[in-house]
């Protein structure tokens, strides 16, 4: 249901459409002309430098996607068989799967209704001597309770991994999302604010993990040290895989990152217009609009509503579909998924997740959504009377 690529042709206004900043073709042609199209070429380095400079992170490494950056995080936090990782049940599959791939057991925790991010009180209760990581997903680019989570992590010596796929350029008490955990992951999938089709990044904030992050991304070799002239031959030193995107992909991403202010300004305008124009209507049908706590700044990633109940959400989806508009929902609670149940997930274990999952609805939201298209979506919603 939440596959945004589902029958787009059927819809006048799709849920998502990849949007172009303008210079993608130009930079890709240039990457080709430069004669270095594998990983870590000119454009990859430009993207790394931009992210490191903007965010002030120790190391930014482009990856083939966010899932792979999460898999790198599982390796870097040394998750393995017999270990546990604390994860939200209200999450994307690979937020959890990346750690399960290393043999770790997911320990599902519920989210807070206020942010749809991890509930710190429950996180602390689930920590055991086997806990290797806590994964904090900043849902819709609205920060989790980071002060509390970082304090819990520090108390128990457990690193925080931020799944920041939604949250690039969001802030928590003045700090950029993605800069607070030991590690953070970004996605540049075509449904995200900035895209190169499929892409991602690992942000490394813990200086002790920088060197090993480079190694695991370079097939378990110390090739990065070799390229910097620190060793005179490179060799196999650790686990790893090949997680570098081609420089043509990085060239595409560079065009988008260069336009980051324009893209974020457009997304903000879309978000604020939905919020303003749906205000009275949402209240009249008993639906709830998102509220961002005053001490955080969101990343303008999505606009979602909470319907009164599941039946109302179904009617809303049908109502919009009849008018050629695709609205979608996610996430199905992971603790109740087929895989989640094999780890002991049971009904009633994460009540907020179970409730939110049955009522959340996401409206069409992409950089190229036109004013007229948004007018149509708003008008269609206003025609829905409950
Ligand atoms: C999109 C997304 C991912 C996965 O990103 P890919 O780049 O497609 O691997 C992971 N976590 C969250 C929260 C996401 O939204």
> In what helix (H) or strand (E) does residue 70 lie, and over which residues does it extend?
helix 66-76
Q: How far apart are CA 194 and CA 179, in angstroms?
A: 18
pLDDT of residue 3: 54
Architecture in CATH of 24-258: 3-Layer(aba) Sandwich (3.40)
Q: How far apart are CA 258 and CA 256, in angstroms?
A: 5
Atom of ligand 1 minimally distant from the CA of 200: 7
Contact of 364 with 14, CB cutoff 8 Å: yes
Q: How far apart are CA 286 and CA 267, in angstroms?
A: 26
Q: How far apart are CA 142 and CA 179, in angstroms?
A: 14
Nearest CA to ligand 1 atom 15: 165
**pLDDT single digits (tens) 148-207:** 999 999 999 999 999 999 999 999 999 999 999 999 999 999 999 999 999 999 999 999
310-312-315-321 Cα dihedral, nearest 10 degrees = -80
pLDDT of residue 225: 85
**pLDDT single digits (tens) 33-78:** 999 999 999 999 999 999 999 999 999 999 999 999 999 999 999 9
Domain boundaries, the chain: 24-258, 260-382
- Rounded to the nearest whole angstrom, what is the distance from the C-alpha of residue 185 to the centroid of ligand 1? 9
pLDDT of residue 1: 43
Nearest CA to ligand 1 atom 14: 165
Atom of ligand 1 minimally distant from the CA of 192: 1
Q: How is domain 260-382 classified at the CATH fold level?
A: 3.90.1150
For ligand 1, is residue 67 a contact (CB within 6 Å)?
Answer: yes
Pocket test residue of 5, 70, 92, 117 for ligand 1, highest count of atoms within 8 A of CB: 92
What percent of the chain has a predicted confidence (pLDDT) above 70? 98
Comparing C-alpha atoms, which of 123, 107, 114, 109 is closest to residue 143? 114
- Same fold flag, 24-258 and 260-382: no
Q: How far apart are CA 99 and CA 240, in angstroms?
A: 14
Below-50 pLDDT ranges, the chain: 1-2
- Rounded to the nearest whole angstrom, what is the distance from the C-alpha of residue 384 to the centroid of ligand 1? 32
For ligand 1, is residue 137 a contact (CB within 6 Å)?
Answer: yes
pLDDT of residue 231: 86
For ligand 1, is residue 202 a contact (CB within 6 Å)?
Answer: no
Contact of 187 with 66, CB cutoff 8 Å: yes
- Alpha helical stretches, state H, 209-309: 210-217, 223-227, 247-258, 260-277, 279-284
pLDDT of residue 298: 98
pLDDT of residue 224: 87
Atom of ligand 1 minimally distant from the CA of 187: 7
pLDDT of residue 232: 85
């Amino acid at each position: 249901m939440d596959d945004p690529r589902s029958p787009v042709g059927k819809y006048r206004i799709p849920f998502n459409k990849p949007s172009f900043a303008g210079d993608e073709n130009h930079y890709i042609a240039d990457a080709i002309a430069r004669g270095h199209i594998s990983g870590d070429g000119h454009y990859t380095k430009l993207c790394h430098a931009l992210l490191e400079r903007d965010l002030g992170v120790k190391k930014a490494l482009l990856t083939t996607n966010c899932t792979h950056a999460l898999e790198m995080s599982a390796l870097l936090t040394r998750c393995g068989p017999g270990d546990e990782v604390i994860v939200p049940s209200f999450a994307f599959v690979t937020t959890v799967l990346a750690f399960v791939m290393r043999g770790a057991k997911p320990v599902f925790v519920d989210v807070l209704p206020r942010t749809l991010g991890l509930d710190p009180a429950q996180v602390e209760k689930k920590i055991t001597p086997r806990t290797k990581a806590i994964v904090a997903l900043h849902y819709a680019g609205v920060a989790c309770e980071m002060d509390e989570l970082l304090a819990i992590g520090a108390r128990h010596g457990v690193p925080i991994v931020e799944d920041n796929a939604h949250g690039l350029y969001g802030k928590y008490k003045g700090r950029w999302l993605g800069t607070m955990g030991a590690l953070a992951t970004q996605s540049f999938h075509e449904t995200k604010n900035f895209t190169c089709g499929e892409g991602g990044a690992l942000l490394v904030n813990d200086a002790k993990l920088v060197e090993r992050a480079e190694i695991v991304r370079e097939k378990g070799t110390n090739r990065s040290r070799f390229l910097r002239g620190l060793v005179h031959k490179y060799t196999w030193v650790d686990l790893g895989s090949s997680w570098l995107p081609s420089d043509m992909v990085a060239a595409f991403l560079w065009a988008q990152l260069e336009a980051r202010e324009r893209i974020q300004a457009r997304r903000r305008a879309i978000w604020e217009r939905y919020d303003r124009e749906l205000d009275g209507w949402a209240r009249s049908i008993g639906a709830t609009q998102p509220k961002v706590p005053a001490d955080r700044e969101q990343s303008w990633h999505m606009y979602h509503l909470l319907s009164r109940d599941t039946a109302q959400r179904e009617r809303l989806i049908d109502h919009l579909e009849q008018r050629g508009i695709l609205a979608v929902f996610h996430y199905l609670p992971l603790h109740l998924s087929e895989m989640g149940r094999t780890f002991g997930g049971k009904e009633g274990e994460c009540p907020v997740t179970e409730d939110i999952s049955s009522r959340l609805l996401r409206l069409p939201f992409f950089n190229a959504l036109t004013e007229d298209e948004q007018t149509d979506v708003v008008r269609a919603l206003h025609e829905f009377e409950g």
